[in-house]
Amino acid sequence: MGTKILVIDDEEHIVELLQFNLETSDYIVDYSYDGFDGFLKAKENKPDLILLDWMLPNISGIDVLKKIRGDKDLKNIPVIMLTAKNMESDKVEGLVGGADDYITKPFSIKELLARISSVLRRYNMNSPREEEILTVKDIKLDLIKHEATRNGEKLDLTLKEFDLLKILLQNKGKVLSRNFLLDKIWGYEFYGETRTVDVHIRYLRKKIESPDGNEKYIETIRGIGYKIE
């Protein structure tokens, strides 16, 4: 069975271009011109990757992304945003919202194919083994169930927050630079926008650390990055 890609974009010529090039590269392609319909197709067909336009009629791509990340059957499917919105704030919003990559229109087909390959490879490499349960103090990360708990209570982490916590726990005691985290979690060097990492770390801290500040897990190493002991 080949790798299935779902394209959600309201521009017919873009969809035709993507379908031709993806099928030429041996991907199985389905498509939708509408966010609601695209979400339903994702639910029905469970693609291996979704290419999602930001500016869609009726419901924006970022809202479709939120629906995907909030759905128990779809939340772990990688999503690459395709959009004409190229401001740094837009990229940060897309990545914080759960996108695995972000590519602006007009784009190079070769670059897009390379990024698709990179994202799929990263997901396949990160497939957990059964014995992989990571812990720090009272936090447990179950990589099989893709579940984080603190004192047995489930933590509501986004996909990127989970991945950040996982890589910090896998490198306990090591200082991981912002660029390293950016490269490992998003799969490529996103130069000049390492504050994306800081935003995710801030959200992650709010969810795992005690409000009174007495229980801290993630240590900031000034000018470098972060670590967990």
Residue 208: pLDDT over 80: yes
pLDDT band (50, 70, 90) for residue 128: very low
Contact partners, residue 225, CB within 8 Å, separation at least 6: 175, 176, 177, 178, 180, 181, 197
Q: Are residues 121 and 8 in the same domain?
A: yes
Number of domain units in the chain: 2
Range of the domain at 156: 133-228
Q: Are residues 204 and 143 in the same domain?
A: yes
Task: Indicate the residue among 104, 125, 146 that finishes a domain.
Answer: 125
Task: Indicate the residue among 107, 125, 143 that finishes a domain.
Answer: 125
Residue 1: pLDDT over 60: no
- What pTM did the predictor assign? 0.58
Tens of pLDDT, residue by residue over 8-44, are 999 999 999 999 999 999 999 999 999 999 999 999 9
Tens of pLDDT, residue by residue over 41-63, are 999 989 999 999 988 888 888 89
Average pLDDT, the chain: 84
Q: Are residues 147 and 46 in the same domain?
A: no
